[in-house]
């Protein structure tokens, strides 16, 4: 079986103060991409990334463009080393970077969508407040059953199937807190409420989905050059229309990360590169398949090491 290269792109949660500063200091292209980004966004993204403050960089409307731009800069630099993806996937927001990597979206068009998505999600979080929590140590079926029982208190549902015993739930605060109690009493190893600006990947994001729909219909998508494994289905897709439709559905449905990675491996992925800040996905892939040793590439030191290999 051929050993294909898969590129994986992180979503919200991978941001940190100081992100991408070393890339901008080392590569003129990185500086130019931030200048483009600042123009599209209408604020100084670079300063928030490099200097914070942390409360600011945690706000959805800044977090999402920050991770996307960082990932796309690294994508450009890794491709300059003649490492090309043969399949891609991105976790939630990361799907936009995956589409750029696959040639389905241009950087500028994707950033315009990320800007609208991030603002719409932040507004939806204010209009329909909710929260999210990570449940560790219970399988997906147990977590789904817990959400069904807790839904007497309000909307709550699985949002991210990240690893076999790591599921993130999302919904109205009262219902999520009820599900957290049930998870603890059912034997979860760990239950952690997440610091997020809303109930992402749940029906509470319906208003954001409507705003995003309009922007998506006005954006040019190309057929992807390599398959993109979609959050919504975990299946590979290259057709422009299907790729576009999935981005809207993604906001109110769970991220099928476990299946996406397993399907990539089944389809021949032998080497994974996590392209962007931090190493969250590298850890998740290792949990799903101990034989896999993904390479996290997010900083100049990582790129230098790749250039020497």
**Residue 177 annotated in active site:** no
As a whole number of angstroms, the distance between CA 285 and CA 274 comes to 10
Q: For a pLDDT cut of 70, what percent of the chain falls above it?
A: 99
Average pLDDT in the 33-56 region? Answer: 97
pTM over 0.95, yes/no: yes
Q: What is the pLDDT of residues 96-115, one digit of tens each?
A: 999 999 999 999 999 999 99
- Buried/exposed 63-99: b ≥16 CB within 10 Å, e otherwise: bbbbbbbbbbbbbbbbeeeebebbbbbbbbbbbbbbb
Which entry of 91, 201, 209, 260 is annotated as an active-site residue? 201
Q: What is the pLDDT of residues 140-188, one digit of tens each?
A: 999 999 999 999 999 999 999 999 999 999 999 999 999 999 999 999 9
CA distances from 293 to 49, 108, 308 (A): 29, 32, 18
Which entry of 92, 97, 170, 202 is annotated as an active-site residue? 92
Domains of the chain, each with CATH number or no CATH: 4-126+203-308 (3.40.366.10), 131-193 (3.30.70.250)
Q: What is the pLDDT of residues 212-231, one digit of tens each?
A: 999 999 999 999 999 999 99
As a whole number of angstroms, the distance between CA 231 and CA 96 comes to 11
**Residue 92 annotated in active site:** yes
Q: What is the pLDDT of residues 292-306, one digit of tens each?
A: 999 999 999 999 999
* Length of the chain measured in residues: 309
pLDDT band at 2 (very low <50, low <70, confident <90, very high): low
């Amino acid at each position: 079986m051929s050993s294909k290269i898969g590129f994986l792109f992180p979503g919200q949660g991978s941001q940190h103060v100081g992100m991408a500063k070393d890339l901008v200091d080392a590569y003129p292209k990185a500086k130019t991409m931030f200048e483009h980004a600042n123009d599209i966004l209408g604020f100084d993204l670079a300063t928030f990334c490099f200097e914070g403050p942390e409360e600011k960089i945690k706000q959805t409307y800044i977090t999402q463009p920050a991770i996307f731009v960082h990932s796309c800069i690294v994508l450009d630099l890794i491709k300059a080393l003649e490492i090309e993806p043969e399949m891609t996937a991105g976790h939630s927001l990361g799907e936009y970077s995956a589409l750029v990597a696959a040639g389905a979206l241009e950087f500028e068009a994707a950033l315009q969508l990320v800007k609208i998505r991030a603002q719409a999600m932040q507004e939806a979080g204010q209009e329909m407040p909710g929260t999210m929590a990570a449940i560790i140590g219970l399988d997906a079926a147990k977590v789904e059953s817990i959400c069904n029982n807790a839904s007497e208190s309000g909307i709550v549902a699985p949002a991210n199937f990240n690893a076999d015993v790591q599921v993130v739930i999302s919904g109205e605060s009262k219902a999520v807190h009820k599900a957290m109690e049930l998870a603890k009493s059912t034997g979860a190893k760990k239950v952690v409420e997440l610091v997020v600006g809303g109930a992402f990947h749940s029906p509470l994001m319906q208003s954001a989905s409507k705003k995003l729909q309009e922007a998506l219909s006005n954006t040019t998508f190309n057929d992807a050059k390599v398959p993109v494994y979609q959050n919504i289905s975990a299946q590979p897709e290259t057709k422009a229309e299907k790729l576009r439709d999935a981005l809207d559905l993604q906001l109110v449905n769970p991220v099928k990360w476990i299946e996406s990675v397993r399907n990539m491996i089944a389809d021949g992925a032998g080497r994974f590169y996590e392209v962007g800040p931090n190493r969250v996905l590298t850890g998740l892939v290792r949990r799903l398949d101990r034989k896999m040793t993904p390479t996290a590439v997010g900083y100049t030191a990582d790129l230098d090491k790749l250039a020497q290999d």
